[in-house]
Structure 1
């Protein structure tokens, strides 16, 4: 890597001022300075402590001194690995990345600047905390570190203890429960509080029994006063325990929701783009299914589940006080539980169908909003309205049936409760007549009977609600089952050399569930200094090839090698540092013009303004009084297609990649803007960079390419120098013109269907 940078520095020094940006020169100078720097012992020790890796200071000092003695001219990465081996530290990997391309979520990390080594970590208010070798700390912004070089250490994660739940087949459910019961102290606290609350509930029945049996017959007000004071203490304690219990559950559910939703969101962000669901509305609905899960667990279901076993406790108390009355409630319990079980079975299939239709409606809504212009322009509002009405009617019918089943369960449980109360009174009267029960004992049994009915009735309702949660977890599980760009347990490579080439070997790619083979490439290699233009008809595979090279799509067969390593075995942060991709359709996000240019946030204002001037983006800012703070809405509404494409190009230029992948970079630009972009490419693409442009305009090849590749049906049919390939194109044009009548000549087309160019004059001809 270092020899490449030195050669690159020499090239830049000999180049004209137009081809070497000041930031690039500073970066290369910094690379050379890094070779002469000793390992920062204090900063390294501080970083290892932050990463929870224990190491003795004396041993670290000795290891660093040995590394400097035995490897004086070695790159910093190799010296670091020497230190790790000397200290017998396992599971630590190191990578060197430019700050401008570093994923700042991976902090803390060491950073080398012109002032030396510092430790960078997150601070409050979107600031960074930097600590130098002397231990002095200060806050700074992301832009202040733009020219730095990051030395990032990755420590192998420690295996976590398995959850008390083992839910096979549903990753989402296992994820929720593992986060919920990762720290089980809260569950113990709730169980203890619930036990005390239920024990205290018995005091109400005893109070009523004592009042009716002793106070009322004798009018013993002193006894009544004592009982009331005792009950006041019980009520206060009961309120305190219930409040603490509710707050504990709320805090746990919020923490679980935060952790799980973040993990699911990160999973979605790292999905293989070619395997992602085609309907964005469906995908959004699947991810939002976590909301119903959180509401379910925060609604008191834990209390109900803990209270349910106490139904048997209260039945035992009723039997102790009222004798045969206990049999009445004991018979009620299995009937109510059976009712709840039957209810959830009936709801299972119904709720699944309802949720599927809800996802369809969500997808229709997203499509209709995004394509509102096309819908109105083609007078298709009525068709989308009819689809919406049909789906809504289906959902409403499912909802009515669901409500009917739930209401049946609720009403039936209430009727069972009333029947149990009446039966208890009847049995109690017989016991009073036999002299086995007092009036106060009968009233006490009635009060305790309510404590039996309440958790049973709630359980029936929760059985119904659980079906909603089960379907939501199944939806989220479908997302979590999708493959990510890298496996979670994959031991990724962190190469420390800049790639000199990118190659494809035996590549075959098809979209999921599609029989069409989008790419079929035996061998293809791009080396440093290549300026390649991809030509071909619409659907020939040019855009797919660029996405595969960028690591956005994963081929079903074959290998893509970035340098010497497989692209899919390299840490994504390293790939993003070296490869930048401009999509054919640029998407802008809600924010400002500046925030859309600097998506990573680590771009200096001077660099941003320089790129904006080169590409003509400064004219967009000049047209509004807000300048670079011009408000951008979702999708970039308010900007023309050409303006959005310039912003996308600006992102690529600010990234300063080693490999440039541009898909139709000038398709929506006028002639003046196109010339600016081409000149900016000549000024910013370094000598040993790789530039690959997909286009329908061979005129670009005549201006800047040293290699032209023609694609057809996902295969390469021609690969060579521009003059050779373009001459073949022109010869095909001549042959076709000779065989077609003059009246058809203006719309002459070849089977290949791409635009041909007059190499000498630069005129475009559609052929």
Structure 2
């Protein structure tokens, strides 16, 4: 049977794009259901292009990564499938997927189709054997996909043949390296004493051919290593980014700069996997081969390089603990420096306007001094090993000549053998000359690997071992039952014994002073954080049981911070939707007020924005953020200070437009603006993480409350 084809090779063999069959989502859901796994349509679509018609068959690998599937491509001939190849996912006739679930005698098979399962079909007689675009071995393999180190080992496993070829090339180059020493020995021992000119010519041609092959093999080795490293680079980078966007926010994690620094450690690991350091590491064991060759040629002369090899390796091993400690220090100091840099860049305008650069300048200088000190110590230790290795190589050549001269004097060694031994010793100890740099890179790669492994071990918001409930529809009922919550690394609860129920279609405002717990409650509604104790329910189901993608599909959460990314206004508005038409985008933009300032703009919705929407006013950023939250048919709208940056006129228009959209929808709004209260019928008032009042909006009209009564509207607005 033809072996599995690597995904990267597929792209080379099949440059012509193949569209993903239209029934792909349905067949994956059916296959998951038959396999006893839980997948949601929103999860699958999150890995596909926004425009379904733009999806290509290569996107199947993105779906596999987010859904916990393991997929390998197989030959197109389904009649040659074997038992270990099923279940097999087959796309044929361009627009249809099926799954071959079982093979039977006589070329028959059980097939899963979107229309249902069929048993005992003849593959040779069916359309499954004709017009086939791709065939994949498919299956759920969560144990290996999410096992420890799988993020590194699986991409390397995909390129195991390339790394095997690198090893074979290393064996051949090291064997061919012996030709020059053998050539020298034969010339001195046989050609010169006998004046054998013709033999010299023949030997020279043979050595020249060997050296040409050696150069070609070295180039091939580099090509194999670069190819394998490039594929691993893409696969590992994708897994790291997937981990980054899937981290459970409730888990303890580094700062933004710290996470950015950890992601940058991938560069160190990648350089190690693709650089000459890995070649030197492969060459290192061949020192033993050269020592054996020296022993065969020169006998006891081999003791000189053998002893020095042991001494050099020992010096490197002694230095390794110091290098490891310094590498870890450098990693932590690098994270600190990156945090300061990210913090400074993010708040550059504030720092300039408030003249607050003094503290950041001091912290930056301290981080530079600390990292510079670690780098100096690391270079000092490395240099000691480098100098000692160079010294050992020189001593080896001198002592081999000395010992070889005594051996030649008593007739135990020829002049040619002595010269060959010197050449072999130089070639054999060459990798040891790189041992300091090798150990330094190895230690830094190890530190980077451990940092990335800790990062990959962080809990996810959608653990692969959890079987979530899928909700295709949501009514919009929200309920808190005795909820307590504290943010990671915080001792004090942000919410304490919070209980309330919001019925479907109800419009509620969460009010209270700054830091009273309103925004925290909103984040728990969306499942961004899990309660420390108690339960948060949507439609009488705990949010921890519902697939997070289903929640985010049905619940629109418009945060207080108007975060925009670089790209067009159209891309920013449509970024959260699975698929959005121009009509739907324009409708959301008109409600949010985006059309008011872009309707007559020459670039319109193709206006390109810089990072964080720089160049737009606060109100314009907020309008675009609101439009993004209004795209799609949502059941619940949660809005945190949605009009805080708007002028009164824009806010009034937005409230009027929004009131027509949320009819029959659940609305939860957090605000300090009285205009937004026109949309609600009920208010829940927070204070210090507790609910102190819950009732109709009329409770805000009490000007002189009795002792213990809810605060006035003025007090609520802070």
**TM superposition score normalised by structure 1:** 0.76
Q: Is 2:172 aligned against 1:196?
A: yes
Structure 1 vs Structure 2 CA RMSD: 3.4
Residue 617 of structure 1 and its aligned partner are, at CA, apart by 0.9
Q: In structure 1, list runs of 5 or more residues that go unmatched.
A: 1-42, 52-76, 112-118, 127-132, 139-149, 737-749, 758-765
Provide Cα deviations, 1:164-210, integer angstroms capped at 9, x if missing partner: xx9xxxx5x56323431355323332222222222222221110111
Partner secondary structure for residue 490 of structure 1: coil
Provide Cα deviations, 1:222-262, integer angstroms capped at 9, x if missing partner: 00110011112211221222222211111111111211111
Match of 2:330 in 1: 354
Partner secondary structure for residue 501 of structure 2: strand
Q: 1:612 to 1:206 in 2, by over 3 A?
A: same
Match of 1:526 among 502, 505, 508: 502
Match of 2:629 in 1: 652
- 1:343, 1:464 within 8 Å by CA — same for their partners in 2? no
Q: In structure 2, list runs of 5 or more residues that go unmatched.
A: 1-19, 61-90, 97-113, 116-137
Number of residue-to-residue matches in the alignment: 631
- 1:336, 1:460 within 8 Å by CA — same for their partners in 2? no
Partner secondary structure for residue 631 of structure 2: helix
Q: 1:755 to 1:598 in 2, by over 3 A?
A: farther
CA distance in 1 between counterparts of 2:636 and 2:551 reads 10
Q: 1:538 to 1:356 in 2, by over 3 A?
A: same
Match of 1:216 in 2: 192
- 2:159, 2:232 within 8 Å by CA — same for their partners in 1? no
- 1:179, 1:256 within 8 Å by CA — same for their partners in 2? yes
CA distance in 1 between counterparts of 2:518 and 2:365 reads 40
Q: Is 2:383 aligned against 1:413?
A: no
CA distance in 2 between counterparts of 1:713 and 1:629 reads 44
- 1:712, 1:752 within 8 Å by CA — same for their partners in 2? no
Q: 1:137 to 1:480 in 2, by over 3 A?
A: closer
Match of 2:211 in 1: 235
Provide Cα deviations, 1:21-42, integer angstroms capped at 9, x if missing partner: xxxxxxxxxxxxxxxxxxxxxx
CA distance in 2 between counterparts of 1:46 and 1:273 reads 34
- 1:287, 1:476 within 8 Å by CA — same for their partners in 2? yes
Query: After the TM superposition, which residues 130-141 of structure 1 pair with which residues of structure 2 at under 5 Å, given as runs?
Result: none
Match of 1:614 among 586, 591, 608: 591
CA distance in 2 between counterparts of 1:583 and 1:533 reads 15
Partner secondary structure for residue 731 of structure 1: coil
Provide Cα deviations, 1:602-642, integer angstroms capped at 9, x if missing partner: 32112222222233211322464322222211111111111
Residue 706 of structure 1 and its aligned partner are, at CA, apart by 1.9
Match of 1:431 in 2: 407
**TM superposition score normalised by structure 2:** 0.81
Partner secondary structure for residue 484 of structure 1: coil
Residue 658 of structure 1 and its aligned partner are, at CA, apart by 0.5
Q: Is 2:653 aligned against 1:708?
A: no
Query: Which entry has the higher C-alpha Rg, 1 or 2?
Result: 1
Residue 46 of structure 1 and its aligned partner are, at CA, apart by 6.3
Q: 1:304 to 1:540 in 2, by over 3 A?
A: same
Match of 1:157 in 2: 140
Match of 1:122 in 2: 56
Q: Is 2:439 aligned against 1:485?
A: no
Match of 1:558 among 534, 558, 568: 534
CA distance in 2 between counterparts of 1:445 and 1:509 reads 73
- 2:479, 2:538 within 8 Å by CA — same for their partners in 1? yes
Q: 1:451 to 1:256 in 2, by over 3 A?
A: same
CA distance in 2 between counterparts of 1:256 and 1:399 reads 29
Query: After the TM superposition, which residues 401-480 of structure 1 pair with which residues of structure 2 at under 5 Å, given as runs?
Result: 401-480=377-456
- 1:50, 1:108 within 8 Å by CA — same for their partners in 2? no
CA distance in 2 between counterparts of 1:458 and 1:524 reads 67
- 1:589, 1:636 within 8 Å by CA — same for their partners in 2? yes
Residue 527 of structure 1 and its aligned partner are, at CA, apart by 1.5
Q: 1:191 to 1:161 in 2, by over 3 A?
A: farther
Q: 1:340 to 1:178 in 2, by over 3 A?
A: farther
Q: 1:230 to 1:498 in 2, by over 3 A?
A: same
Match of 2:87 in 1: none
Match of 1:34 in 2: none
Match of 1:5 in 2: none
Residue 351 of structure 1 and its aligned partner are, at CA, apart by 2.0
Match of 2:45 in 1: 103
Q: 1:614 to 1:177 in 2, by over 3 A?
A: closer
Quick check: 495-504 or 657-666, which moved more? 495-504
